Chain A
């Protein structure tokens, strides 16, 4: 089955740029989606189809994907961005198509 690999943690100072990676075999050929989850809350979609933002998500959140790596970029990081972030793909060639990465804890220093 398809595997997505994320770093367990990323740390960044307020106002700086955070980059969270998601690795997968030829991930650039799939659509990658990103979710933010704060403690005790349900996940929230922040980027879909590699780089699109749902309404209500700040422009500071952006995404890209190429080759074997997808990246969620958070510009001008704020304290409120501290959360767990998960990448996800839908592997349409599989009988169990839903795949999540292991998650990355973003810490705002």
Chain B
């Protein structure tokens, strides 16, 4: 079955760190670009970060640049998001999403079920 499964969410204090993982199965992970997208409680979707299939191109939203680090391990079919200096406004469900690139324009054709990150003292 083609799927993405996130893990690693939880409750963390402001200023703390957390590492999210996304396990891919059912497709050739190394062929695909990947993204993290988050959704704060009751709010809309918010793109967080992108990594190319080989890991050599990375982008971040302004709100997380310098605090979050995206990475991948193609041998283990896994995507990661290392989050540090966490703030209350980072509280959200974090989704990993597979990117499909057509003519340079990417859409997200496969999503995980999400993992909840709560930042609170």
Contact = CB atoms under 8 A, between A and B. Distances in A.
A35 interface: yes
A23 interface: no
Given A86-B44, A95-B59, A97-B59, A31 B102 contact: yes
Interface in B13-34: none
Contacts of A102: 44
Interface residues of B, number: 27
Interface residues of A, number: 28
Given A42-B95, A43-B45, A43-B111, A96 B104 contact: no
A48 to B, nearest CB: 5
B106 A90 contact: yes
Interface in A9-43: 30-31, 33, 35, 37, 42-43
Contacts of A42: 95, 111-114
A39 B45 CA distance: 13
Given A31-B102, A35-B45, A43-B45, A96 B107 contact: no
Interface of B: 35, 37, 44-48, 50, 59-62, 65, 95, 100, 102-109, 111-114
